[in-house]
Chains A and B, each alone.
Chain A
Amino acid sequence: MFAPLALFARALVASLFVVAFAGLGACASWRKPKLCPEITLDQKVDFTRSEILLLCGDPKSEAWEEIPRPQVLYHLKTFLLDRGYYAPKITSPTGGDLFVELGPSSELRRLEVTGWPGDLEPFSDRRFVGRRLDSALLDEIETDANARLRSEGYACPALETRADAPMSHVTVRVRAGKRRLFGEIPRAKVDGFDTRLLERFEAFAADETYDPRLLVLSERRIRSKGFIQDAVYSPLCEGEEFRISLHPFVGKALFLSIGAGFDTEEWFLARLRFSAQRLSALGASVDTILFASLLTQSADVAVDLPFGDPSLRRSVYNQFTVKRQDTPSFESVSLSGRAGYSRHFDTLPASIDWRLGGVAEQVWTLRGQGPESTHFVAVESTLLSTSHLFEYWIDAPQEGYRWELGARASFEALGSGFTATRLKASVEHLGIVWEGPFASLVWAKRAGLAQNIAPSGRLGLIPLPHRHYLGGSKDLRGFSRQELPRDGQGAANAAFLGNELRVMRWLPIEPLLFVDVGTVNVGMARPNVPLYLSPGTGLRYRLPFGTVRGTAARGFSLSPRPEDRGRDHWEFFVSLGEEF
């Protein structure tokens, strides 16, 4: 009999709690934010610690413990103007404490740029119009205009910005100056090092229009290769004169690193790298890398022997690799050696790497349906082109392209265990398709095609590591790594196409949507080619030490084979450092 009463009492108490907390919450939300006991604002403003010190005083300092009221008003107006509040109303209702009504802040409605060079596309205001008109926006407009002018060759621009906040109008007066070329950079020996060797890494030529991003690329290449410890290219404007100077830091030639990492495809991994640079006057180098993960273990020695004029970027490469792979489809150990000729070009707007050489490899298949032991000797060539924009934005992909063509041919007549030709092509392109004041939309596309061609019935002789697979974060994100084809035998050919839309600048965590589609074909002429589709979504977040991406996608089979039926599933990937 008391149970309904007890239930009612509990419900009443719970309701009271809800009401009380709601009331407290409402009171809290109605309370005006207090900057310090003397200053109350009608809205919250994130002042910096230094600003608060100049507004509220510093109890640790006799001289700054109490800030005179007119000075507080001056600082308040200055700081609020910096945030776009151009007409704050500051009152002292009680005669003592200050009450600050932030007042209006305008949004940029019209951006007028005068003096913009006629040979350039007009300066776009899409990223700025509609945003709050504050000092940070003015800085951003100036930075953007400055960067745009510099990247188009106007190395020494001067800008003057005026903002009419009540009218929501900004005027930028541009004095672009002359359009410049990179010009010849003075090069001298530094600590015995011939800085001319750095031409191998430079993304620009003397007669090209100046673009400071190419200087950044050049520095990054030098650092990445480890050829010398560092180099800085610094442009200098002195009146009418413009020049670029090079500041190399040669450093020591030997380098050792030991590292460990993690990803959801290979799980735990470790790497040891030993590098010896500048072994010859022309900059020969040896890179040795020992790599180990739960799926792959490898030892790799690469020798790079440049020759001739450094500006021509020619070299002979040699590479020796021992590798063990343990995948769901197969387990293998391979021993390979490569040698050949490589050439690097840098012409606007892309760089091109071309390699031509031979490869000899012995493969032992420990598990799986391939030949237990086979070897091949092949001629191979690759052509890789990367746009400078793609390379520049490598850490925050949004523009540029990269494509690659490769071919390898092995012949039994030359001592190979099989005769086959392997062709591959891939392309990747990113672009900003829409730009607004608070967000940009990046559309990334990628496609790949790989084909093994072999005489009839000879495909089975190709070792499993050299057959084609799909699945994983690189191509079809709705399938696990190398899940397709499902029989584990690898495919004779594979193709995929990926599309991704990513929203930039909207949130710190960037959302993305994608659709990948692909196909694999086990035999050369098997009918009923399957088509796989994986739509999905994900998030991208840039941490100080790399980009974290997480995706969730559903893998569908559109024209299912018997082995595909009932195997549609969700696939999740988390990666660090991987971009698209």
Chain B
Amino acid sequence: MNAKRLIKRSLLGFVAIVAMLLVTIVATAALVWFRPGVVVNTPRLLWALPHLESMGYALELEAPQLQADSPEFWRKRVVLKTPRACWKNPLVATGPLCLRDVDIEVVANLKPGATRPLLVRRLRFYAEAFELKIPESTEPPDAEASPSSWTSSLAWLAWEEVDATLERLRLPAEDSRWDFAGRLESAGREELALKAQAELHSTLPKPPPPFRFETELRLRTDLLDREFALSTSRADLSVKGSGPGLKAAVGGHLEFKARRLDFSLSGDGSWRGPTSLSFRLDRCQGQGRLVEGDRPIPVDDALAECSVRVVPTYPAALTKRYGSRVPKEFRLELRAEAKTQKDGALHPRLSAKLLPVRTPIFVFEAEAEAVPRRTLGFDVTLKGDLKLPDFRKAAAASNELGWIVPAPVAVLGGPVQLTFSGTGESETPTGRADFKLTTRLRSRDQALRLVADGELRFRQCRAGEEGSSFEVDLVSREALLELPAIDYTRPPPIVPDSRFEIKAEPRRTEVAARAAPTGCTRRLDLRVRTGENAPVRIAGPILKNPIPVHLDVRKSDADAGRGYLRVENFSTELFRRKATVERFDFDIATRVVNGRVRADFTDHRITTLITGSADSIRVDFESDPPLSRQAALSVLLFGRTMEGLDDEQASSVAKTEAAAKNGALSLASLYLFASTPIESVGYDPQTQGVTAKVRLGDGTSLNVGANDRGVTDVGVRRRLSREWRVETTVRNPSDPQNRSTLTILEWFRRF
């Protein structure tokens, strides 16, 4: 019995305790619910701060005041005020992040099902300057991790009065830093105003003036509505930027209604430089539909089209000089679109089109399109077309600019067209471009028709990797060019005397090292060739017939040039005789020449074989019927066999033969012999120079190639004509008393 009573009393006691506990809890909860300041107050905050620091949140509050109350049953209000609050986190900022005059009032709507449970009724603070620390992690951002939707973040947050000032936020970069300052302020219940300034400073040793941007955004939105219903928003945007020589202002209007976004932008800007540019955003309109979900760009069916007009202002001297030949304006059509495809993915696309730029010299147009990749960057396609309607005008303009388009090419008229197209992506980045150049140039005496196909590949590379490559295949379809009527026996210097060192020029290797600091390889492959049955023909006053030259020359990084020049089957003169060049090859890489020139005489056919290196050619002679080498040379030089030669001619044959055998007969010497009536040939074994006395058109003679010391010419006999000469002899050489020097003009003959 006692046990039952004991159990009963125990149960009653337990129930009473539970009830008391419940009552206590309920009373406490009610107390906290209706008097939240009991729990949320300044002493509790001061008690909690050390615990927060031990948890890694080093928060310092100076004389904080924390109050909480319950203005309504479901709404609880918390007010925090402090003259200064600082937060230390070395991972985020280099120093403490401090706010002054902090005054925050937040009302929480704890009613179940409330759409925007948190209302920031008042947010006021002044953020002192601080510098963010850029995390050193090099890991690429997680492409699959979708950022939370901003609309979802707004779903539980509402704003009422905001007045936040940021003194300076410094964001360091590699060679620069960004400084941001601004103030966000609510102006009325439906308007949010943001004024922000940003400055971009260079941290290089000699920094340029900073770029400054000012942004003013006035957002009219029901986001601030107490009803917490996002249905209609309008925003007016104004952005002004300035920098060294740069000024830009963009204004726009955005309207968001029923999840549809429409915007229009307009603006202008200018950039002052050697050639100043003024920009005008003529019309820029767009629309789109806001979507929820994990998307980088929370829009769909978006389309934006803008037209940009760029008007350059050239230097006065340039305008005065080139007048209407410089482009007056450039017009760009920009287009951005994003649309969800069948696969459910959003496919954004950006494109820019440069409308044809027309000048009297050229017409240029280009298009570019960029498609964002799923990861980072863009896939870019590019195509363009450059036309020179009249090459002669372009050459003249180019020459006025100081870029040499030399004679005889500069006088050629006709069109030149360069088309190119390419693709690339900005992530790696890599790309390739194909281009085609065609010319159809002609003048009264010349022609040049070329077709060039080329490919440019580029990729960012590391040391040892293959980098960019450039391949060109230039084919000459028709070329007839004229040589100048200079004296080829005494040609003027065409290139500057390389023996002079005027200024220290960096060595080629140094230039290459500077150009390719990464050390990755670059490939260059240029090929210039003549088309089938379309040799380059070289004409000129010194040539009776144009010389047809076939060529196939390649130049790459790996070699200094290879390929050949080939002259085939044309009639010319060699040693002043009609001759046929059966073949003349020149190997670019080895500088080896190989030529066969045939000359037909009444009784003989003599073939001149030219072999060896271009610097030291070897000349041999074949004849049919067979003649000795001397006899063949005699026939070639003077049209007679040795029996018909006078002393000087015979001597010339001997010297020419010696020079030919010795490799001292250069191509220039051959040209000299081929083109000019020769009176005599000299050969100086000391200098290994070939000299020739040639007959000029006016009946006089000229010594060509003789050195100034006259070693070759030294002698006591000088020929005046075939059978006349002046001879200086010593009479009575063995009798000093009667010895005398005698100079006489004499007629002579060997027989």
Contacts and interface: CB of A to CB of B under 8 A. Distances in A.
Contact of A230 (B492, B650, B664): B650
Interface in A27-41: none
Contact of A63 (B482, B486, B684, B685): B482
Contacts of B446: 62-63
B444 interface: yes
Given A77-B496, A224-B716, A68 B739 contact: no
A254 B728 contact: no
A249 interface: yes
A242 B135 CA distance: 74
Interface string B707-749: 1111110111110100000111001001011011111111111
Interface string A73-89: 01101110110001100
B499 A223 contact: no
Interface stretch (A117-125, A361-369, A570-578): A570-578
A263 B746 contact: no
A578 B496 contact: no
A578 B497 contact: no
22 contacts: A48-B487, A58-B484, A62-B445, A62-B446, A63-B411, A68-B404, A70-B403, A77-B496, A147-B687, A162-B499, A165-B502, A223-B651, A230-B651, A232-B654, A235-B662, A256-B749, A271-B742, A392-B714, A448-B736, A450-B737, A468-B737, A474-B740
B642 interface: yes
A448 B736 CA distance: 9
A576 B744 CA distance: 9
A546 B408 contact: no
B49 interface: no
Given A212-B685, A229-B650, A577-B728, A395 B499 contact: no
Interface in B177-196: none
A20 interface: no
Interface stretch (B82-90, B394-402, B456-464, B669-677): B394-402
Nearest to A426: B736
Contact of A53 (B486, B499, B731): B486
B205 to A, nearest CB: 31
Interface string A218-254: 0010011000011111111000000001011101101
A86 B500 contact: yes
Contact of A70 (B404, B683, B747): B404
Given A63-B482, A224-B716, A236-B662, 17 more contacts: A48-B490, A61-B482, A62-B446, A63-B446, A65-B411, A86-B500, A162-B501, A213-B711, A220-B716, A229-B647, A232-B683, A257-B746, A271-B746, A382-B734, A577-B716, A578-B740, A579-B741
A61 B399 contact: no
A454 B454 CA distance: 102
A448 B735 CA distance: 12
A256 B751 contact: yes
A234 B682 CA distance: 12
B373 interface: no
A60 interface: yes
Contact of B715 (A147, A256, A395): A395
Given A70-B403, A235-B685, A61 B485 contact: yes
A133 to B, nearest CB: 9
A68 B747 CA distance: 54
Contact of B651 (A64, A229, A355, A384): A229
B714 A394 contact: yes
A232 B495 CA distance: 35
Contacts of A575: 741
Nearest to A47: B492
A80 to B, nearest CB: 10
Interface string A39-61: 00000000011110110001011
A395 B710 contact: yes
Given A61-B485, A135-B493, A395 B716 contact: yes
B399 A230 contact: no
B508 interface: no
A69 interface: yes
B370 interface: no
Contacts of B651: 223, 229-230, 249
A483 interface: no
A165 to B, nearest CB: 6
Given A163-B500, A261-B742, A263-B742, A544 B655 contact: no
A206 B651 CA distance: 25
A394 B647 contact: no
Given A81-B497, A234-B658, A269-B742, A223 B715 contact: yes
Contact of B486 (A50, A232, A252): A50
B308 interface: no
A260 interface: yes
Contact of A546 (B491, B496, B711, B728): B728
Contact of A578 (B492, B741, B749): B741
B571 interface: no
Given A229-B750, A230-B655, A259-B747, A67 B727 contact: no
Interface in A123-177: 135, 138, 140, 143, 146-147, 150-151, 161-166
A258 interface: yes
B650 A249 contact: yes
A575 B491 CA distance: 38
A361 to B, nearest CB: 12
A404 B735 CA distance: 10
B274 interface: no
Contacts of B747: 257-259
Contacts of B663: 236
A49 B708 CA distance: 21
A370 to B, nearest CB: 16
Nearest to B487: A50
Interface of B: 321, 395-396, 399-400, 402-408, 410-411, 443-446, 481-482, 484-487, 490-497, 499-502, 541, 628, 630, 642-643, 645, 647, 650-651, 653-655, 657-659, 661-664, 683-688, 707-712, 714-718, 720, 726-728, 731, 734, 736-737, 739-751
A140 B709 CA distance: 10
Contacts of A260: 744-746
Nearest to B404: A70
Contact of B748 (A87, A151, A256, A384): A256
A115 to B, nearest CB: 16
A53 B490 CA distance: 13
Contacts of A382: 734
A255 interface: yes
A216 B714 contact: yes
B686 A216 contact: yes
A165 B500 contact: yes
Contact of B714 (A87, A220, A269): A220
Nearest to A70: B404
Contacts of B685: 212, 215-216, 232-235
A265 interface: yes
A257 B562 CA distance: 57
A518 to B, nearest CB: 12
B661 A245 contact: yes
Given A259-B745, A579-B741, A58 B485 contact: yes
A251 B500 contact: no
A469 interface: yes
A107 interface: no
A71 interface: yes
Contacts of A341: none
A390 B502 CA distance: 42
A252 B746 contact: no
Contacts of A395: 710, 714-716
Contact of A60 (B485, B653, B743, B748): B485
Given A69-B399, A79-B493, A424-B737, A150 B686 contact: yes
A272 B243 CA distance: 99
A69 B657 contact: no
A212 B406 CA distance: 44
A406 interface: yes
Q: Which 7 A-B pairs have the closest CB atoms?
A: A259-B746, A577-B743, A261-B744, A63-B408, A50-B486, A257-B748, A577-B728
